[in-house]
Amino acid sequence: MSGDPILAIDAMGGDDAPAVVIEGLARFCRRRDDVAFHLHGDEAKVSAALRDAPEVATRSEIIHADGSVRMDEKPSQALRTARGTSMWNAIEAVKEGTADAAVSAGNTGALMAMSMLRLRKMRGVHRPGMTAFWPTVNGVSVILDVGANLEADASQLVTFAIMGEAFARALMGIENPTVGILNIGSEETKGHDEVREAAAILSAGEFGMNYVGFIEGDDISMGAVDVVVTDGFTGNVAIKTAEGTARMFTHFLRNAFSSGPIAKLGALAVANGMSEMRDKLNPSNSNGAVLLGLNGIVVKAHGGSEPDGYANAVNVAMNLVGGHYLEGVADGLARLTDREKPAAE
Amino acid sequence: MSGDPILAIDAMGGDDAPAVVIEGLARFCRRRDDVAFHLHGDEAKVSAALRDAPEVATRSEIIHADGSVRMDEKPSQALRTARGTSMWNAIEAVKEGTADAAVSAGNTGALMAMSMLRLRKMRGVHRPGMTAFWPTVNGVSVILDVGANLEADASQLVTFAIMGEAFARALMGIENPTVGILNIGSEETKGHDEVREAAAILSAGEFGMNYVGFIEGDDISMGAVDVVVTDGFTGNVAIKTAEGTARMFTHFLRNAFSSGPIAKLGALAVANGMSEMRDKLNPSNSNGAVLLGLNGIVVKAHGGSEPDGYANAVNVAMNLVGGHYLEGVADGLARLTDREKPAAE
């Protein structure tokens, strides 16, 4: 157990913390046991929650923190009073190297702000990018940026591609993840300057990346690429639009299945197939957003997480640690930096 | 019949023209008969197609055109050889006032370029906006721009709001359509300058518009507003993302319903409910995109239209004519123009 990765857990982050957090860790432990947890939070509350989860307790050390960040606090406000909170201490542990990654279901804005402040951007990264998972017909894809920034110039889009590729490789074990830039047409002449310039850089092939070109909105759910690169405004609208559309379908399905006694029997008959579908589209399975581009790994679990969702976010953190994600990104960024200033040397 | 609206039909536009076009008109005639058609196209082919559609023939006049625009022609290329094609003549008829609106299932780019060239922008419009219909849990909404432009500044977004509101009123018969600006958060402080400035202008209430504020991607399919205002890049990505997500759901549903003999029986039992759902989400029902902001009405039917889809595009044209859409927009734009230069006068 001594060589196992150590995760710094913000045990007080999220709507039902620490109960949901500990239950999530317990579910993760049923999948893997090569991990140790540092549980940052209120000692009394955390140890009470641990009583029902001996499999977590044996792998955990509680590190007391007096305060916690409220879910509705503004990032700027949270930053002022952040020092010593469970969230702050978890991030600090990553910075100090006493943990390999941090996981929090707490206030997203505060988590991003603190992570940027304490972990700093990697060399070569102008703006970090927020990832999200996107269920597709043939599995799951990664999209970034989904809202860390409002805009992205060509060089930022290229950085997102590099980080997203390393992320997908570490996380999904794909040797050469396919990468596409989201655009409003697939021809090279389409789109605004930023996407066309980024495409030209990636097409040149210097990064040894499996760049496939432009993709359109309808290609994402079809699983056309493993990594979808876009600016934070477009990415955020796209993923929320997909969520809304999925919700609409669920609404219509529920109506169809309850439209009469025969339909209700029919619903029972297709229940197996439907539960497979629900499983594939279950948000828990795509839980765990990551702010890419920092000197350290911080995974955000959804605030209202189900324990399964939290377990999945923990899994994301573990795979990034084990998949040598940070080294992969540093590698790609070094090639980008070399490219950007050969003439000056 | 003498006072009925006259539609200029590009009978040669679309993948299976003129057959699908005439069949579409026939289906429209089963719904309404207060219309006359000017069928622009190859006289021999069009009259051959009319032989099977007497209900269309009695309301039609064929206006011979020698050429037609190919579906794969670039707009710039099409413009050079456009004069005298069925598409050109249909638009020209709107310009000359011999028809009240034009409908074409032909090459979208060429149709937009020709419409802009011949009909010109309305006074007060810097950039026309392309609309699309969006099926929602409680009906259908309108979104614009979905790709006529790549970007939109605050004043263009306000223009889209004015045009979209008049469009929804004319088309759906809603007295005070609700209008929202697509953003990545609902707070006033969120989003880039363009959306925040546009929101400030619309919130001031000078247009007497039912502006409800920012909406997010997941609000669209929930039917949060009747009119979704956004720039062409974001709008195009959003609507295609929704289409892709819908296709993914259909894929999973098909699998669920064919996963075994019991599931297949179940599928039969819910067939009624499912067909209602399919009907609600049927692309034919939301066919008919319009380039708003020109001095005239030109409706684009999907190129590979089913006859029902074409009939719906014709219905859109008729409702815009009957709903006094152009007058409504002119009204709103006049208020915007007044607002923009009161100090100078």
Do the Cβ atoms of A298 and A291 come closer than 8 Å?
yes
Q: In this model, does residue B257 exceed pLDDT 70?
A: yes
Q: Is B74 on the interface with A (CB under 8 A)?
A: no
CA dist B307 and B295 (Å) reads: 28
CA dist B13 and A129 (Å) reads: 44
Share above pLDDT 70 across residues of chain B, in percent, rounded to a whole number: 97
pLDDT value at residue A340: 65
Q: Is A261 on the interface with B (CB under 8 A)?
A: no
pLDDT value at residue B2: 59
Higher pLDDT, A11 or B171: A11
Mean pLDDT of A5-28: 95
CB contact under 8 A, B221 and A150: no
Q: In this model, does residue B344 exceed pLDDT 50?
A: no
Higher pLDDT, A173 or A203: A203
Share above pLDDT 70 across residues of chain A, in percent, rounded to a whole number: 97
CA dist B345 and B342 (Å) reads: 6
CB contact under 8 A, B217 and A242: yes
Give the pTM: 0.90
CA dihedral B145, B149, B155, B158 (to 10 degrees): -10
Do the Cβ atoms of A60 and A44 come closer than 8 Å?
no
Quote the mean pLDDT of chain B: 90
CA dist B328 and A246 (Å) reads: 35
What confidence tier does A279 reach under pLDDT thresholds 50, 70, 90?
A: confident
Q: pLDDT tens, B33-92? A: 899 999 999 999 999 999 999 999 999 999 999 989 998 888 888 899 989 999 999 999
Do the Cβ atoms of A178 and A184 come closer than 8 Å?
no
Q: pLDDT tens, B75-115? A: 888 899 989 999 999 999 999 999 999 999 999 889 999 99
State the helix-helix crossing angle for B271-281 and A232-257, rounded to 10 degrees: 150
| ipTM, interface predicted TM-score of the complex | 0.89
Select from A136, A234, A238 the Cβ nearest to the Cβ of B248: A136
Q: Which residue of A has its CA nearest to B275?
A: A256
Q: In this model, does residue A345 exceed pLDDT 60?
A: no
Q: Which residue of B has its CA nearest to A182?
A: B237
Chain A residues inside the 8 Å CB shell of B132: none
Phi-psi region of B29 (alpha: psi -120 to 50; beta: other; left: phi over 0): alpha
Pairing of β A139-144 and β A178-182? unpaired
CA dist B341 and B344 (Å) reads: 5
Triad B13, B246, A285: Cα angle to 5°: 150
Q: Is A334 on the interface with B (CB under 8 A)?
A: no
Looking at the complex, report in whole angstroms how far the Cα of residue B78 sits from the nearest Cα belonging to chain A. 17
CA dist A48 and A56 (Å) reads: 12
Q: In this model, does residue A38 exceed pLDDT 80?
A: yes
